[in-house]
Amino acid sequence: MKKDFSEALGRHEQRFGQAGLAFAAPARVNLIGEHTDYTGGLVMPMAIGFHTVATIGPREDGRAVFHSENFDEEASYEIASLDSKPEGRWSDYPAGVVWSLRQEGVRIDGFNMTLSGDVPVGAGLSSSASVEVATAMAVLGRAHFALDLKAVASLCRRAENEYVGAKSGIMDQFVVAGGVAQRAMLLDCRSLEFELLPLPAGVRVVIANSMVRHDHATGGYGDRRDEVETGQAVLQRERGIELLRDATLADLEACREKMPAVSYARCRHIITENGRVLEAREALLQGDVKRFGELMVAAHASMRDDFEASCSEVDMIVEIALRQPGCFGARITGGGFGGCTVNLVDVTKTGEFVAAVRSEYRAATGIEADCFVCEASDGALALAKDGTA
């Protein structure tokens, strides 16, 4: 689906007094495969039709100037001396991409960039990766420098890991850059090989935003990753396993007494989740929506109980969703501790589903949930190729 970014171009020209080029990157939702990516595991995300638009134009003083319309702020950096010193603000993400591109040997001249978009922030839909990939595409486009999907995703991940300091895996950047309309992506986060899978025509993905983001979300994500890595290190030492994705439940059980109980539980989630992703692949290939939904429900229970990364509000939305006619499955999506659920719903029931979820959640919590009916969209590379932005 083509989107018109002429308004973004016009606002950039009005602000900086120059014409620009616009590049867009979508958001993403992960259908199944949560917290598996940073141990080389399997995930099944899709790009969705919220976008960050990066509009870029030249300047002559060797600086990178970013204006964020969402934050109504401007940040300026001298490109030649840009180092990995994050400031703890929104501009760390685009600045980190410039830093990472320079690590790749890309020559970057001065530029003005306007960042705008409609990706919900803090909802688990990867607003940060959308900013990163949009920035990378804009800078590469202006430099007339081409990189393939793996390179774009990897440099954006490096920006988030080494510049921003967030312990993310590569799933978000990879699907934001390389997603394909009407397809889910099964991604092997170790090899970066991927398979595009058909989504049944008779269902829609509905995202329900709990509108809750608990204060411990960022720290909780880092804690969970540390707990996973502690367990993985035990498996490496005791069983000769390279990455957790190579471990079986039998391997984990054999090492149970040699790792903290929380690490055992976190690793159990990841091992079983990798298995669920493979089962979900088979379900999609067979058009078995019922089975796919059952796997989503099991994935949520694992995130809630073994990974302990859900919260009462999100659990409530899942419970409400599963009571509704036409809902095949529901689960938390994203890093956890709030944010969104992803729900698989009969296409003929989406209107009723959204109304019921919002009404029942509001009655129970007093919170008005945002709900979005989504289809799989093209990623940034496809958008740039077809001239949409």
Question: Which residues does the annotation mark as catalytic?
Answer: 172
Distances, alpha carbon 286 to alpha carbons 197, 279, 293, 367, in Å: 11, 11, 13, 38
- Residue 234 CB-half CA count within 13 A: 19
Which residues, 6 or more positions from 382, have their beta carbon under 8 angstroms from its beta carbon? 178, 179, 180, 181
User: How many residues does the structure list for the chain?
Assistant: 389
Report the C-alpha gap between 275 and 77 in whole angstroms. Answer: 45
277: tokens are 């992703």
Report the C-alpha gap between 131 and 176 in whole angstroms. Answer: 10
Q: Could you give the 3-state DSSP secondary structure of residue 254?
A: helix
Report the C-alpha gap between 258 and 347 in whole angstroms. Answer: 48
Distances, alpha carbon 31 to alpha carbons 2, 265, 374, in Å: 24, 22, 12
Report the C-alpha gap between 299 and 294 in whole angstroms. Answer: 9
Give the amino acid at 316: M
Q: What is the dihedral of CA 202, 120, 93, 244, to 10 degrees?
A: -50
Report the C-alpha gap between 264 and 250 in whole angstroms. Answer: 12
Residue 364: CB atoms within 10 Å: 14
